[in-house]
A = this chain, B = another copy of it.
Amino acid sequence: MAIITSAETIDIRFPTSLEADGSDAMNPDGDYSASYVVLHTDGLDAAGQPLAGYGITFTIGRGNDIVCMAAREIVNRLIGRDVDQMVADMGGTYLSLCSDSQLRWLGPEKGVVHLALSAVMNAAWDLAGRLAGKPVWRLLADMTPEQLVDIADLRYLADVLPRERALEILRKAEPGKAERIADLEAKGYPAYTTAAGWLGYSDEKMLRIIAEQEQLGFTAVKLKVGANLADDIRRCRKAREAIGPDRPLMIDANQVWDVPTAIEWVNALKEFDLRWIEEPTSPDDILGHRKVREGVAPIGIATGEHCHNRVMFKQFLEAGAIDYCQIDAGRLASLNEILAVLLLAAHFEVPVCPHAGGVGLCEMVHHASMLDYVAVSGSYEGRITEYVDNLHEHFVHPVRVAGGRYQVTGDAGYNTEILTASIEEFRFPDGSYWAAARS
């Protein structure tokens, strides 16, 4: 029997703005950051090591301290809890952390308090996986449909996804689970890369990286667009010429357009046979996305990295506003809410293609995609998960990608533990990197 004895919240910031990694039309100079939560216990994990849980949400710099402050307020509620009891009722654990009505007022279920809840529950899930000695995708995939619906946050979804319908989806995926697990272990989950497409990169750098990525097995390419139409036309043309007519090419505007502009701009790029336009406009504009979808067909609409909770995904899906559902593992409140969105997407037959990159998002979303494949949708069709080869060196158990696919790592937990040396260097503002930068 173990107890959660203490918790840490740590503001970690990487100076990515120096290299224009991650630059897009909305976010020209992000410093990729982690609001990092550590749950300490007095117990041991399945391997006999001190048991702890490590959770992340991702931000792009300023304000990371604000999320850490909110996470501290939330995580304090876990201190003193019995680990076995917490892990045996992860649905109840999640609800107990949502139930502070005073903090709820600050969202509800959105913005800083929801990002902070994500970091805390991600740490709880990492702890649960380590205690069981399993990757979290496998911990969940091994559960019964009834156990899974008790974990999924189905609040406010009853009009489209009542509990019985959620059970039906999960039961339908039961046959073939073992075969799909074996398939994942042999081949991995399909990925694409945004490595070449950042707006701050020169055409030469873009083409060089596209060629490098092809060598690594990545067949799809995504470019950031939206700052200058002539540039976008030139870059799309060069990318399409480089990859040939058959490979998928996607574009991403990071919310810079209003609806009429989105329709006009995307139609000006139509000749390049685009699979999707990502984040064409405000992430709150459900009906606007539907208008863009109608205005640029057959180009698909992808969004979700800023879609703040399952209720918003319900809108996008029910309104017929999106073709690809891009969940974010740091913005949705952990696997409890991700599972609800996987179920909603399966109900509406829309493929889930998670957002990744940043810090730790690839580490987390490969679990979400593997869970979707094994236990929810049961399919790869139309599905492809983002991968960015950036900052993985700071993780104790980084994701592995080979042949253009996320591999099963076999590591227990959520792959979200950051190396102590990296924390010492990039903790803000007192890590060695930032102390030196100020002097």
Contacts and interface: CB of A to CB of B under 8 A. Distances in A.
Given A159-B291, A284-B312, A101 B65 contact: no
A73 B62 contact: yes
A285 B319 CA distance: 12
Interface string A79-94: 0000000000000000
Interface string A278-308: 0001111111100100000000000000101
Interface in A95-116: 100-115
A108 B62 contact: no
A60 B101 CA distance: 8
A258 B153 CA distance: 13
A419 interface: no
Contacts of A109: 282, 284
A315 B285 contact: yes
Contacts of A287: 314-315, 318-319
Contact of A282 (B112, B156, B318): B156
Interface string A213-246: 0000000000000000000000000000000000
Contact of A159 (B108, B288, B306, B318): B288
A430 B61 CA distance: 31
A364 B232 CA distance: 45
A108 B114 CA distance: 12
A157 interface: yes
A81 to B, nearest CB: 19
A311 interface: yes
B110 A113 contact: no
A2 interface: no
A41 interface: no
A69 interface: yes
Contact of A67 (B62, B63, B106, B311): B106
A334 interface: no
Contacts of A61: 102, 105
Interface stretch (A28-36, A175-183, A184-192): A28-36
A66 B68 CA distance: 10
A115 to B, nearest CB: 7
A247 to B, nearest CB: 31
A13 to B, nearest CB: 10
Given A102-B63, A105-B59, A311 B291 contact: no
B159 A259 contact: yes
A332 to B, nearest CB: 13
A156 B258 contact: yes
Contact of A110 (B60, B104, B110): B110
A26 B102 CA distance: 10
Contact of A66 (B73, B110, B285): B73
B102 A60 contact: yes
A400 interface: no
Contact of A158 (B69, B101, B259): B259
A407 interface: no
Contact of A100 (B62, B69, B259, B308): B62
Nearest to A255: B108
A66 B284 contact: no
Contacts of A100: 62
A258 B30 CA distance: 38
- Which of A65, A67, A155, A159 counts the most chain B CB atoms within 10 A? A159
Given A285-B314, A314-B285, A319-B287, A260 B106 contact: no
A101 to B, nearest CB: 5
A26 B105 CA distance: 10
Given A63-B103, A156-B281, 12 more contacts: A27-B105, A62-B100, A63-B113, A67-B106, A69-B69, A110-B111, A112-B113, A158-B258, A284-B312, A285-B314, A288-B311, A315-B315
